[in-house]
Structure 1
Amino acid sequence: MIRQALAVLVIPGAAAAQQIDSVYTTYNWDTDCRTLEDNLPADEAAMSFRMVCPGPDGFYLMLAEGDARISTDYATTQRFGPWESFTPFNTVHDTVEWRRQRLNEKMQAFATIHRWDVGPSHDDREILVISTVATAPDTESCMVGVIDTTKTPDANELARAVADRFAPGFVCGNAQPRAFGYVGLETPLPRRVPPHHETAKGDHP
């Protein structure tokens, strides 16, 4: 079963009048998500699986795996966006933090924070990935920033600050995701599929 927990935080200063909170979803990938059975496009022959998982308040998590690498999308519709992942092998943890803000008297997700394991098994790095949430059919989800938790103190608090500041208004495909906190030569950065492949995943009902 999907487990949800709620934590509320009112941001001081410029956002004093705006309530922001976090809601958490924890998944059993085998039972909480629906694996798509349709045939994959020819240029995605190496894709192992694609699944759709329910999120809070009618949102969805889309997860695709190919060549031992993961790509994720978070949206109001069950639509897979452009492939975006890290070059090293990677996988994701089973808990997602959804950052929400009050819009028109209703709390609405605008960003997610998801922990990834990135790298060969002997040197995995735990990376917090901050992504946008697609809230309209003509928008997409994408990575905003990454935080290497290995040497970054208070990485979770930093991830929330990055989400709250940079996710609203972030333009996928135009703005580039950045590394925050500790950044070294070994800090992995995500790679996005070139634009002429960006419609390969398509829409799924």
Structure 2
Amino acid sequence: MKTFALFAIIFVSAATAFSQTSVYTDLSDTKCKTLRSDDEDGILYKGECAGVAGYKLHVIEGDLRQSIDVVFPNKTVHQLRFWEHFMAFSYTGPRAEWRIKNKKPFALIVRLNVSEDLNDPSKTTSYLIVSKITKDFACVTDVVKPSKDQNVQARKLADASVNNPCMVAGSEK
């Protein structure tokens, strides 16, 4: 009986661990619909990218800094405001990773390349920004610094993000 109970616990734990999957959204301007391309309100570019389960992403660029907004199925927009976490010039990576459970996104991972060297803006540091998505809002929960297992770390943080508080700008350093 103990063996059966132990097997059942392992099986349920494994099933839960593997029930999270990833789906990717291409963030390139050739794959996203341009909503705005001017310099009104400091926003130079706004593109809408396909998402999952009725969610979409807006890629926002202003003053050589990029960020992401998460658009919920009910059309409410939740700004992630990457530029509040990094003041230097920045641009997003080529795709966003949605973490999915039960066919709904619960987290988002986006690469942000930041020009932290004022003497050579072409030198960038590549961070992974982890955001949680609840039924009511989306917010940044973690910033993963470059490392050999950066992607694995980001996925682990994303999978636990529902329990993590929203990050206060400036606390990632």
Give the alignment's TM-score, normalised by structure 1.
0.63
C-alpha separation in 2, matches of 1:161 and 1:170 = 12
**Unpaired segments ≥5 residues, structure 2:** 1-9
- Root mean square deviation of aligned Cα: 3.0
> Cα offset for 1:171?
4.7
Q: Which residue of 2 aligns with 1:202?
A: none
**Unpaired segments ≥5 residues, structure 1:** 1-11, 180-187, 190-205
C-alpha separation in 2, matches of 1:64 and 1:161 = 27
Bigger Rg, structure 1 or 2: 2
Q: Tell me, what secondary structure is at the counterpart of 2:158?
A: helix
Query: Normalized per residue, which structure has more helix?
Result: 2
- The 1:177/1:37 distance shift into structure 2, 3 A limit, reads closer
1:81–1:140 CA contact under 8 A, matched in 2: no
Q: Tell me, what secondary structure is at the counterpart of 1:122?
A: coil
Does structure 1 residue 71 correspond to structure 2 residue 63?
Answer: no
Q: Percent identity?
A: 25
The answer to which structure, 1 or 2, has the higher relative contact order (CA under 8 A, 6+ apart) is 1
- The 1:15/1:29 distance shift into structure 2, 3 A limit, reads farther
Q: Deviations over 1:101-132 (max 9, x none)?
A: 12xxxx11011111111015332001111112
* Alignment size in residue pairs: 154
**Letter in structure 2 aligned against 1:168:** V
1:74–1:132 CA contact under 8 A, matched in 2: no
1:5-16 correspondence to structure 2 within 5 Å: 16=14
1:118–1:126 CA contact under 8 A, matched in 2: yes
1:140-179 correspondence to structure 2 within 5 Å: 140-149=137-146, 152-165=147-160, 167-172=161-166, 175-176=167-168
